[in-house]
Amino acid sequence: MAPLLVAALFYTFTMPKLTLNSTTYTNQAGDTVLDTLLANQVEIPYACQQGSCQSCLIRSPEQAPPEESQKGLKETQRARNFFLACQCHPSEDMALELDSNEQPFVAVNVISITSLNEETIELIIQHPSDFIFHPGQFINLRRQDGIIRSYSIANCKNTDNTLELHVRKLPDGDFSTWASDVLKAGDTIEMQGPFGDCFYIQDDPEQPLLLIGTGTGLAPLAGILQDALAKGHTGPIHLYHGSRDLSGLYRIDELRTLASETSNFHYTPCLSGTSEHGEFKFGRANTEALKDFPELKNHRIYLCGHPSMVKSAQREAYLSGAALHQIFADAFTVNNPNE
């Protein structure tokens, strides 16, 4: 039988079911996932319908989508089973997720709270044993009164099932002040996640990595760094951690020790607000890093912290030759004017 005819028969007899928010839709032969959802009046953003604008990005959390529907996506998005609905001709049943904010919150225990410096605390919580995450992703924490804040995961999966989060105490920060002054070991708090595409993927262990962060942007970078080293990354890893003054840096000694013991890891703490920078590099972390690495064609870059730093560093890195899909960014937006 001619291959084309076999394919036609195959499509005729295969009508996969798509499930979204507990409703099931039948995907007619030849239709894309987008066609099916639109035909059933599901509200989904879309535009070009040819796989370039990425408006119809959707996720199939439980099983890998067809490869052709992931063309042009970031490695980390592929790893989390994101795909383009307009490019997906499903061959089997799929469970779909449009908005990951619909994930449930679960109550978790606070294990410890310790000070990292004047303005930052380390919050350790215990996650459910079936919680799967990539270090560098973030979770949402919800207080009893409903206030929600996002924090990045700074550690790899461990046998105690704990997550390490870095919380910056903002001057009028409702949540952060409460977390540092009221919350204590043994308390419970609600957690949701994980979210985000800023994490390590081992597709090229020799690729040079450039990690740039300000303030608690060190949290996801610390997670990414540990993950890369644990997975045997051999390419050079440069970490630039910056702050205006010394009170914004932390883990300095630990990172220096790690750099002295790890031949491919290099650590450059930067201070931008004081001319008395002593043993630290004087300048902004992103500016100094991009000065040290004017050619980024083969690099993978991680940018975490202040949104304006992330935005300008992304642009500069791209203009220095980095491919846009090799730039992973996590901009920490402040949730409300008081926080």
Partner 1 sequence: MSDSLYEKLGGEAAVDAAVNLFYRKVLADDRINDFFDGVDMESQLAKQKAFLTMAFGGPNNYTGADLRTGHAHLVERGLNDSHFDAVVENLGATLTELGISDELIGEVVAVCEPTRNDILGK
49 touches partner 1 by CB under 8 A: yes
Binding status of residue 324 toward partner 1 by CB under 8 A: yes
323 counts as binding partner 1 under rule CB under 8 A: yes
Is residue 103 a contact point for partner 1 (CB under 8 A)?
Answer: no
Among 319, 334, 336, 338, binds partner 1 (CB under 8 A): 319
Residue 1 sits in the site that holds partner 1 (CB under 8 A): no
Q: Of residues 17, 19, 35, 53, which one binds partner 1 by CB under 8 A? A: 53
The CB-of-65 to partner 1 minimum distance in angstroms stands at: 19
How far CA 197 is from CA of 6, 232, 330, 331, in Å, comes to: 39, 21, 8, 12
Q: In whole angstroms, how close is the CB of 252 to partner 1 at the nearest point?
A: 32
291 or 325: CB nearest partner 1: 325
Strands 57-59 vs 300-305: parallel, antiparallel or unpaired: unpaired
Residue 54 lies near partner 1 (rule: CB under 8 A):
yes
Asked if 48 is part of the footprint of partner 1 (rule: CB under 8 A), the reply reads yes
**Exactly one of 91, 205, 311, 336 binds partner 1 (CB under 8 A); which one?**
311
Q: Give the residue with the Cβ less far from partner 1, 54 or 112.
A: 54
For residues 79 and 201, the answer to whether their CB atoms sit within 8 Å is yes
Is 200 in contact with 134 (CB distance < 8 Å)? yes
Residue 55 beta carbon to partner 1: minimum distance, rounded to whole angstroms: 8
Looking at residues 72 to 101 of the shown chain, list those that interact with partner 1 (rule: CB under 8 A). Answer: 72
Token readout for 192 is 């949701």
| Contact residue for partner 1 among 117, 259, 318, 339 (CB under 8 A) | 318
Using CB under 8 A as the binding rule, whether residue 334 contacts partner 1 is answered as no
The least CB distance from residue 325 to partner 1, in Å, is 8
Which of these segments, 141-149, 186-194, 287-295, 307-315, binds partner 1 (CB under 8 A)? 307-315
From the list 30-38, 171-179, 280-288, 321-329, the region that binds partner 1 by CB under 8 A is 321-329
Q: Under the rule (CB under 8 A), what is the footprint of partner 1?
A: 48-50, 52-54, 72, 311, 314-315, 318-319, 323-325
